[in-house]
Amino acid sequence: MADEESSPNRYPLIDRERVFEFLIEQPSRQELVDTSTGIILYLEDISVSFDGFRVLNNLTLYIEVGELRCIIGPNGAGKTTLMDVITGKTRPSHGSAYFGQRLDLLRMTEPQIASVGIGRKFQKPTVFEQHTVHANLELAMEGEKRVWPTLFHTLTGEEKDRIEEVLDMTSLIEERGKLAGALSHGQKQWLEIGMLLMQNPLLLLVDEPVAGMTQQETEATSVLLTRLAGDHSVVVVEHDMEFVRSIAKQVTVLHEGSVLAEGPFDAIQEDPAVREVYLGI
């Protein structure tokens, strides 16, 4: 648990309307979110029940600014529901969820949560298959989304540079003119991550990024996510333990909706409780 001095509950909330006025006046998300304590995400005593079954059970989790955290656990441990709570898709029956010191996620809608810098990539990639890779990134760019301005928007030099940067980061430079539907499965996953990066998220949630990938694609994804950490906080839900080993400094293990264990991969792997409920040994 966070100590009393650093708990976001000790800071007054900004009214929702005022938050989005502030976004217009001061576009710096870092200033809006306020990560001066070094923590970007606070989840405290979160509980979620469906039809009388408790999916999350007084779950507490803190994510640091710029860290890459892996979350593992058996099926039914609550991993997807956890992501749903962070992004506003599911409302908990109990607990608190803050983005930085100021923003109460439980008082915000899904679009509002996305607009302040939380991006989520689902397991199955969703790209515009009839558009080129470059066009997908351009369409995903942060900014005006109404149809008329989008149709007639001319890219600035800064926007062109950002697209080039993301193409390079996602290993899609040579595929820029290719239709997204013609990409391999792994390349589609990278493109969707790239589309999220065009929104400049502070926190990136990634669900099973290497499922169905070749070994070469898996290794490239490891490099990509490791590279993103630092500039972004990255939370990865994954079942592939070798992949988790390759990227994780901190691992959180969920079991029956609660945090069972947390720490470096090697310590987690040797934890008797983890071996019993997750590794089956």
- Tens digits of per-residue pLDDT, 48-75? 999 889 999 999 999 999 999 999 998 8
Q: Which residues of the chain have pLDDT under 50?
A: 1-7, 9-15, 22-27, 144-149
Structure token pair of residue 35: 């990560």
In angstroms, rounded to a whole number, what is the distance separating the alpha carbons of residues 57 and 95? 10
In angstroms, rounded to a whole number, what is the distance separating the alpha carbons of residues 28 and 68? 22
Tell me: the pLDDT tens digits for 24-33? 444 466 778 8
pLDDT confidence of residue 252: 97
pLDDT confidence of residue 276: 85
* Residue 253 neighbours by CB under 8 Å, 6+ apart: 71, 72, 73, 259, 260, 261, 262, 268, 271, 274, 278
pLDDT confidence of residue 70: 97
In angstroms, rounded to a whole number, what is the distance separating the alpha carbons of residues 252 and 164? 34
pLDDT confidence of residue 52: 84
118-121/203-207 β-pairing: parallel
